[in-house]
Each structure stands twice: as C-alpha cells, then as structure tokens.
Structure 1
C-alpha cells in the first residue's frame, strides 16, 4: 500500500527552487567559465585545463567529505537541511570572487583563479549535495518523490536555460563593452538571487524520515553496502557520463559560434532551444509511472542521441536550422535524463536503507561526484585539445583548432551518449522494487 503524501505545495516549490538557486551559479561555471578564463581573464588554454582537472580531483574528495559530514550531522534541523543555512553565504561569495579579475601578474592571477575556483567547488558541493540527500527524507511515497524530483529538475533546468540564454546579453548590458565588468556584475546579480532561494529552502523544507533505527555506521559497513548496491554503482557511472558530455558540449558552444560561424551573438539564440528540456522534465511524471524510471531514462538517451546526430550533421554542412533542430531534440532527451537522476539516486538511498545502512550523504555524493568529475574531465578534454591544436584566444583559428571545435561540439558528445545508453542497460530496477516491497504479514491480504 502506498504511503500517504507528506508535503504541501509551498514546501515542494521551495525544494525545487533550491536547485534553481544552485544553477544560477553552476550554469555560469559549465557554460561560460572556460571562455571567461581564456578570452576575458587571460589564462592560456593549457593553464585552464590543468586548473579544471586539479579542481575536479579536489571535488572528488570534497564530495566524500560533505557526504560523511551529512551522515554525521545530528541537529535540531535534521542532517541535510542545516547545510543550506551554513554554506549558502560562502558559496555565493566565492562565486562572485571567481569572476573578479585582479590587477595581478600572470602568476598572481593564476593563484587567484585556483583559490577562488577551488573554494567555489567546495561550497557548491556543500549546498548542492544536500538537495539530493534530503529527498528520501521528505516522503516515502514513490509518486510524491517522483513529483518532487520533477519539480526540482524543472526549476533547475529552467534556470540553467535562463542563464545560458541571458548571460551574454547581461554581460553586454552591465559591461558596456567591458566583459570583465559585465561578467562580474552578472554573477553578482545571480549570486544575490541564489542566496535568497537557498535560505528559503532551509526555512520551508522538513526532514521526516531520518530513521533513528539506523544510526551512523562504520565506514566498513557502508563500503560493503556500496558494493552490494548495484543500482547505485550503475547510476553513478551514468551521471558521470552525462555531465562529461554536457561539459564538453556546453563549453564548446560559444567557441563554435564565435570562431566557426563568426557570429558570437548566435549563442543566446542557440541556447534558447534548450528550453525544450522542460518538455522532457514534464513528461517524466507520466512516463515513469507508466514505463518505469529505467525505460524512461533509456528513451531520453535515445532521443538525445537522435538530436545530437542531427546537430552533428548540421555542423558538417554549417546549416543553422539543422543545428538548432538538433539542439531542440537533444534538449528534450536531456530533460528526461537529468530529471530522473535525483529520483533514481533517492531510490538507491532507500535501497541502501533496506540493506540495513542509512547513508544518504555518501550515496547522494555520487551526484556531486559525477557532476564535478564530469565537469573536470570535460574541461580538461576541451581545453587540452584546444591547446594541442594551437588555439589562440581572440584570433582566427587554424584548421586543426576548427576541426577540434567541431569534434568537441558534435561528435565526442554523440559517442558518450552511446556509452551512456549501454551502461544504463545494466541498471537493475527490479532489485530495488523487490527490496522496498512491503512484506505481507500473517493474516493480511495484498491488494
């Protein structure tokens, strides 16, 4: 028998807006930070590549640290909820500092970039990981959990698209031709809104199902549970592949339109077609209830592959309508994929509890781990390939760099989507259903 619904709409909306808050800054990182570093801040592509991989290696450790901190937090507000209160302000502060261009020498600017970007990565994990870890504590109703996940992703995706579309126009508006000033004032606006939304989440949500029957367990017991949690292992790899794909493609978008189409002004138009991701997110509620979460995500990956293939053909012939059509179809598929991630992670957390281990922090850390490592590897791949092909900022690019931009924008993401599809085929959704199914007691009848 399905549990009753636990949340009301103010709490649902506030939970969803937590992801919107994080994405006001996160989308600036994924889409424009590499461009900011190379074409505005003044770092070389090789220096940016090394910075990204160092930051992501640090984030691997940080995700585990924050996960353990959540599992060992016992406050009057719960385990995950306090992190929204404690870390929102430093998160926003470091976001703004990351886009400051200090009057330092080359070495000084590189040190500043390391300190601010590494700090931003840590505090991003501290406010983002609890969004995933808190979900299975809000309700035990499977349909309600799906709805909460959809609201979260709809809000997050909507803001991602808004940032992708309006960042460059805002940079131009605030900067009046000075991109250093424009980027700084834009992130200050986004950061201020983010702070308000994160704190609103703290005040509105409630943890209801942090069970005292599952106290903090030893690291050895948690590790054994992780090895047995096959669905968690598979979805972790899928998340990593998704964000690797997203990072490579998103970071290359502005380079493609600036250096191959010679129309940087087309970037907001191209990104506007990603609004179609919201269609995929909205479809999840019906599709997941009808076909199951695994089959729905598989359908999303297939749709993303079709869209990416259309985009790739468009880049081959430099045909804008085909490129835009590919972005649109790909976005619908991406909406189905990313909209299910937090929901399926919540399922693996509940499955871990069924195995006798409550470790929502560690299990939820796979989401941030996948995001951080995917972004880091994506930044390394993009910046590294640009460096080896002879990329020079704000100059006409040589033929090798032009080919590398197309490879990053079109064909590498297509290959990664195919790998993602194969990996997800091994996800055992039935194992979770069997573990979470109520056990009939003597004298009762299953309806």
Structure 2
C-alpha cells in the first residue's frame, strides 16, 4: 500500500463534505418527515406506513452488504468508491422526487406506489452512500486528518439538517401555496437538483490514496471471516443500530410533539416573547413589498415553533462538532463518545417531565442536547474508519467497503426500526391523522417517543461502548504500525 500520510486540502475536505450535504437533504427528510408524509399528506394508515418503512429499510440494509462486496472489488482509473458517487447521482435525485409524489390512486394503488418508490430510493441510496462513506477511509491514513475531514463532513450534514428540519415544512407550505402535496413535490425537486450538483463536486475534488496491494488475497469468505473476528466492529455495529433507532424515532415524532402535545397558545406566547413573530412579520412585509406575495412564512405557531426548535438544536450541534476534534485528540474518541452520548441521553429523558406549556424549558433543553450530541456526531464515522484500520492491522488485509457496508447495514436497520416504531406507536396509542383533539393515550405516546424511549436507547449505547477496545493508546499504535508497513519498513 502507498504512503497515506498526505494531508488533505481544504478544497478536498469541503468537496467531500458536499457529498453528505447532498445525501442528507434526502436522508434527513426521510428521518424527519416520511411517517408524517405517508400518514398526514398521502393519507396512508399509520400501521401500513410502519410496515412500508420497516420493510424498505431492511431491503436497503441488506443491499448495503452487497454493495460493500461490489465496491471493494470495483477497479477503475478513478478508484473503487468515487465512480459510484458519479454513477448514482442522477438516479438518486430521480428516486427522491418519485418517493414524495402523490399520484391519485386508490388505497391499494397508493400502497403499491409507496412500496415501489421507497424500495427504489433505499437501494439507490445504498449504492451511493456506501461508497461515499467508505471513501473517507481511503482519502488519508492520518487519524488526525480523518478527525478533521469528519468535522468538515458533519458541518455540511448539520447545514443540510438545518435546512430540512427548520425550513422544509415552511418551504412545503410556501412552494405549494398551502397545498402540502404540491409543496413536497416542488421541494424535493429543488433538493434533487442541488444534490446532483453536489455529488458531482465530490467526485471531481477527491482522490483515493490508500490502495490495497495488488497481491492482496481477496475473497468474500475472507472478508466475512475477518469481520467475525473483529470485536470493535461488532460493538460499533450495535451502537450504530441503537443510535439510528434513537435519531429516527425522536426525529420523526417531533413534528407530532409540536402539533399535538405542546399547547399551541403557549407556543404563540413564546414566539411573541422572543420576538420571532415580529421578525417574521417584517420578513413577510418585505416579501410583499417586493411582489412575492406567494412566499409568506406560515402563520400557525406549531410550524414556526417546530422549525425554530430544530434550527436552534442544529446550530448548537455545529458548536458541539467544533469541540469534537480537540476533545478526541486529547482524550481519545471512545472516551469522549461514552461521556457525551450518556449526557445526551439525560437531556432526552428530561423532556418527559415538562408540561405542555413549558415551551421555554423545552427549547433550552433542545439547545443543550444539540451541543452535547454534536460532539459525538463526527466520532461515530471516524471510529468506523479506525475499525477498518484495526482490521488491516490485525489481519494484514484491507477491506474498507465491507467494514463500512456492515455499519451502514446497522444504520439502515436502525432507521427502519426507529421510523417504523414511530408509525407503530402512533397506531398503537390511537393516533388519528389530522384530528385536532387526539386521545390522551396518543398524546402521551408521542411524548414518550421523544423522551423516555430514545433516552434509554442512548444509555444502552454508552454501556456497549465500554467494550470498544480501540482507545487513544491503541489508535496511536495502529497508525504507527500501518505507516511503517505502507512505507515498506
């Protein structure tokens, strides 16, 4: 293998980050709004939506394993992983738009359409995203550079998350002139166009530097045998599943939390007190003066409060990401992750104890949670890249994509379980779409789904990480030994 100590330029780090920005315009929309879109926009029963999301997620998860095998064996002049980002850019955009269309079918036709389009999207997503995340493991072998690359990447992720979680619902209402079906279509067409452009930038600005030796023995049997012996991989697989169960469960339920749990009148008072309502009135007045009468911010308080809640949390996540690299460099990724994922769990559990009118404390807790969780965001993927190095260090064979494919398998399993759990809880607790006065059990179920359930899952993740053996001392040893091997010492 070649020397991998080369530093990455700002251009390359930024170009790489734009790939995750593109993917997350779609990924965050699925995470936050898919259950809402299926139940409240396309009018599919919550129980049926749960089955569709769960089944589609598992199909995507298993396809990731196939993609890992394919990607590790792809040989082109552009490398193993970069070509897949190019090849899948346009199909990804098309699949995203199709998933959020609402053709006028009967219920059976709707179910078939959502099954086909969602399955198509998760398969294309796997073909794009698995090579993308594996690419981070071959751009550089310098672990500090990987920490830096991961920080760039996740700032881009947070920007995409901010756009989706804070602005998508207002965009939907604005671009659809109040019609959510038209609004989702127009918004996803815009996201798809931006995404295709960003994927192309990623392809043209990155370079694969870690190249397996030509005489390296490679077989599917060896790849899976190495995985089975890799203890850190197993820990990270379980942690990845649990983390994304949590993110998809709570992320998909926040829109219901603001619409049906928190008191609308208290939300209005809060928005007035902090000056948000007056600010929006000035924005709307300016748009009207420019003749843009169709581009008015929605008037209902839950939409504004939900957008502001998500936006504030994401901004503080970005602050947390900024602390991730120096903390990891000083104390090691594992130790930092354990501490901050546990603190994140405590902040989630706190939501269970707030009344329906305690809007200010809900927002303050979200800001605190955003900062704490933000510290962990880059660490997950750099730790997975370290697991690939650990495997090479132990087995003298590198199979980057199969390591990442197994982790994305866990991610997809986590998302499918978490998202389907959200829809299943809505069905179990008696939720009725668009019903203003939900039964008390449905309201309580919504609150539990953004507090107690995800909080305890995060605590289990923290406990599992205690069994992850790659601490700071081992990180240094692995990096040093691999550099010597690649330099022929």
**Aligned mates of 2:432, 2:121 — CA distance in 1:** 27
Tell me, what secondary structure is at the counterpart of 1:117? helix
Partner of residue 283, structure 2 = none
Partner of residue 302, structure 2 = 264
TM-score normalised to structure 2 length: 0.86
Preserved contact between residue 310 and residue 322 of structure 1 (Cα < 8 Å): no
Partner of residue 379, structure 2 = 340
Compute the displacement of 1:317 (Å).
5.4
Residue from 454, 457, 468 that aligns with 1:427? 468
**Aligned mates of 1:417, 1:409 — CA distance in 2:** 12
**Aligned mates of 1:59, 1:162 — CA distance in 2:** 25
Partner of residue 298, structure 1 = 338
Compute the displacement of 1:264 (Å).
2.5
Partner of residue 328, structure 1 = 367
Preserved contact between residue 69 and residue 220 of structure 2 (Cα < 8 Å): no
Compute the displacement of 1:432 (Å).
5.0
Compute the displacement of 1:219 (Å).
2.1
Q: Judge which range, 334-343 or 81-90, deviates more.
A: 334-343
Partner of residue 444, structure 1 = none
Deviations 1:362-400 (A, max 9, x none): 101133212211111012211112112221100121111
Alignment partner of 1:285 is 2:325: yes
Alignment partner of 1:159 is 2:160: yes
Compute the displacement of 1:309 (Å).
3.0
**How is 1:1-16 mapped onto 2 (pairs within 5 angstroms)?**
4-16=5-17
Preserved contact between residue 302 and residue 333 of structure 1 (Cα < 8 Å): no
Alignment partner of 1:404 is 2:404: no
**Aligned mates of 2:483, 2:122 — CA distance in 1:** 46
Compute the displacement of 1:256 (Å).
0.9
Long gaps (5+) in structure 1: 442-447
**How is 1:344-363 mapped onto 2 (pairs within 5 angstroms)?**
344-354=383-393, 355-363=395-403
Compute the displacement of 1:255 (Å).
0.5
Compute the displacement of 1:278 (Å).
0.6
Preserved contact between residue 132 and residue 345 of structure 1 (Cα < 8 Å): no
Tell me, what secondary structure is at the counterpart of 2:398? coil
TM-score normalised to structure 1 length: 0.94
**Aligned mates of 1:170, 1:162 — CA distance in 2:** 10
**Aligned mates of 2:483, 2:405 — CA distance in 1:** 33
Long gaps (5+) in structure 2: 265-300, 485-489
Residue from 427, 430, 438 that aligns with 2:481? 438
**How is 1:115-130 mapped onto 2 (pairs within 5 angstroms)?**
115-130=116-131
Preserved contact between residue 254 and residue 450 of structure 2 (Cα < 8 Å): yes
Partner of residue 406, structure 2 = 366
Tell me, what secondary structure is at the counterpart of 1:75? coil
Q: Judge which range, 19-28 or 361-370, deviates more.
A: 361-370
Deviations 1:207-266 (A, max 9, x none): 011122464622221122112211111111111111100111011001111112244322
Alignment partner of 1:45 is 2:46: yes
Preserved contact between residue 352 and residue 448 of structure 2 (Cα < 8 Å): no
Partner of residue 413, structure 1 = 454
Partner of residue 245, structure 1 = 246
Query: Alpha carbons of 1:286 and 1:268: their partners in 2 closer, same or farther (altered >3 Å)?
Result: same
Query: Alpha carbons of 1:214 and 1:360: their partners in 2 closer, same or farther (altered >3 Å)?
Result: farther
